[in-house]
Amino acid sequence: MYLIMTNISLLDMKKTKKRNVRESIIAVLGRKFPLSMRKIFNEINKEYKLGVTYQAVFKLIKEMTQECILKKEDKEYMLNIDWITQLEDEIKIIKGNYASHLTVCKQDSKEIKDRIEDFIMQLGPVLKNYIGNDKSCIITLSGTGYYYALNLWKYLQRE
């Protein structure tokens, strides 16, 4: 059974001329899965015309499976959902970093940044002491609270 997905803009290979084989494998498996190694190879050559050999694709798929980017079931491959989740988490962090920076820049206010830093310096050590090495979750409900929570998370990660 093949599941076909559409509208994957993050990995839309048709909009770019130069993509490497690894990105092509991810893009192909992002739209159609699971696929055999031969089908992945054929899709890459058909869609992206990279001129890559079957041996090169074979070697890279094996590497990506060892790196837990791909998951093999029977003789077919698909993206590893854990890798996708990790990628999503990293993108959320990047987006948060930029959103926080852009909001402060747009308001052109050092005051907001100072208030967040004061909040972190007062609350951070207390929370760190309270939490210790236990796992925890930071939840915020308001727009500005997001930036406080994000910076608190960064502080706790550093510590």
110 beta partners? none
**CB crowding 62-101: b at 16 or more within 10 Å, else e:** eebeeeebbbeeeebbbbbeebeeeeeeeeeeeebeeebe
Tens-place pLDDT, residues 110-142: 677 777 788 888 888 888 888 888 887 777 766
> Where do we find the tokens 């959103």?
99
What is the spatial distance between Cα 65 and Cα 123, in angstroms, rounded to a whole number?
43
> Where do we find the tokens 């979750």?
137
Other Cβ atoms closer than 10 A to 28: 24
pLDDT truncated to tens, each residue of the chain (159 aa)? 444 444 444 445 454 545 689 999 999 999 999 999 999 999 999 988 888 999 999 999 999 999 999 999 999 999 999 999 888 888 877 777 776 665 555 555 667 777 778 888 888 888 888 888 888 777 776 666 777 777 787 777 777
Longest dimension (CA), the chain: 59
Domains and CATH numbers, the chain: 3-79 (1.10.10), 84-158 (no CATH)
In this predicted structure, what is the pLDDT of residue 7? 43
Could you tell me the two tokens for 108?
């052109």
What is the spatial distance between Cα 44 and Cα 158, in angstroms, rounded to a whole number?
41
What is the spatial distance between Cα 80 and Cα 66, in angstroms, rounded to a whole number?
11
